[in-house]
Amino acid sequence: MTDIFPISFVFSILLIFISKIIEKKGIVNIRQSPQTLHTRSVSRFGGIAIFLSLILVSLIDSSENYQFMRVALYCSSPIFILGILDDLQLEIKPIIRLIIVFPSAFLSYWFLGVEAYSVDIPYIDSLFELKIFSIIFICFAIAGMVNAFNMIDGINGLVLLYSLTICVLILLFQSSSSSLDINLFFVAIFFAILAVFILNFPFGRIFLGDGGAYFLGIMLSIGVIKYYQINALSPWYVFSVFIYPITDVFFSIFRRIISKVSAVKPDSKHLHHIVYRRVKKIGLESENSNHAITTILMFILYFPFLLSANYFANNSLILQIQCLIFISFYLAIYILLNPKDLTNRKA
């Protein structure tokens, strides 16, 4: 499975080389959007390197051990293609994106049995006895996570390091009942991401792109939910693992509502943007240094909670408490760094 690393690395180098050739022809790859913090042309196709390396290895090795990963890749393909189209700067309306995301979420339920059984909350749990509710819930949850991963993207290494951390901690704390195909799934994703991470952090030679963010959002959602199912963990384990992107997306929606702007309109007021602007005030000349410090600071914020989520994976009460603590920390840091950003005024 470690052969995925060199394959992903070679694909990444090739994509960087192609980007340089295209740039010489006058075609620059700079996104004109509010959340973009980069000022130079860089390949946004790191997600392609991750996707192709996983596809290639899973097809070469046709054993049953990689069947889960193969099916997960097929299920995630619509979302991955959607993200690549966005990276090619083809304008796709937010509502259309949401509609396209649902087929992948449903495919993961249909072919992999990825679903939710409860949330450990009285009365709400009884709704999961209705199959249609369970299906709708998991489709919305996965679609939301795909969007959340894209929201926290934009800083060198941020989503990649977060994804690597999820994989490492699950493998370190894996239960004795964990199946080999699920373990190999996380090992494969880890090495595919690691190759891109080395080139992305801290120097930003290649970006993950929307395709990569969407892809990691659905693949890790599928993997973590299936891991929770197989090991009969607390449903709050899944919430705890993804509490950072979940908090970011819900707070962003709340912030935009009170600011009277579209909830689906992108902006540069996420917590990592606020932290990045504070880091820039230090006065470092290197943009890469500013990105690196921001990514490390965000890692310091979410890592203890990811570690705790895996250690207390069966304890719903502790996981619920830690989710509340993280949300409190997130809000406190946001308000402390930029209290005026709860309005639509410029930060």
- C-alpha 271/C-alpha 285 separation (Å) is 22
Q: Tens of pLDDT along 261-299?
A: 776 677 888 999 999 999 999 988 788 899 999 999 999
Mean pLDDT for the chain overall: 88
Q: What are phi and psi of 293, to 5 degrees?
A: -65, -40
Enumerate residues 6+ apart whose C-beta is below 8 A from 347. 268, 269, 274, 277, 338, 340, 341
Is 124 a residue whose pLDDT tops 70? yes
Q: Tens of pLDDT along 48-97?
A: 999 999 999 988 887 788 899 999 999 999 999 999 988 887 777 777 77
Q: Which residue has the tokens 């996570």?
A: 145
- The CA angle 196-202-204, to the nearest 5 degrees, is 60
Q: Tens of pLDDT along 315-344?
A: 999 999 999 999 999 999 999 998 776 554
CA-CA-CA-CA torsion for 176, 181, 187, 193, nearest 10 degrees?
-140
Exposure string (b/e) for 53-91, b if CB count within 10 Å is 16 or more?
Answer: bbbebbeeeeeebbebbbbbbbbbbbbbbbbbbbbeeee
Exposure string (b/e) for 324-335, b if CB count within 10 Å is 16 or more?
Answer: eebeeebeeebe
pLDDT the model gives residue 345: 47
DSSP state of 155: S
Q: Is 259 exposed, middle or buried (0-12, 13-18, 19+ CB in 10 A)?
A: middle
Residue 333: in which H helix or E strand, if any? helix 316-337
pLDDT the model gives residue 347: 39
Q: What is the pTM of this model?
A: 0.92
- C-alpha 230/C-alpha 221 separation (Å) is 14
Is 177 a residue whose pLDDT tops 80? no
Residue 42's nearest CA partner among 280, 206, 197 is 206
Helical H runs in 91-177? 94-112, 124-127, 131-151, 158-172
Q: Tens of pLDDT along 97-115?
A: 777 888 889 999 999 999 9
pLDDT the model gives residue 211: 92
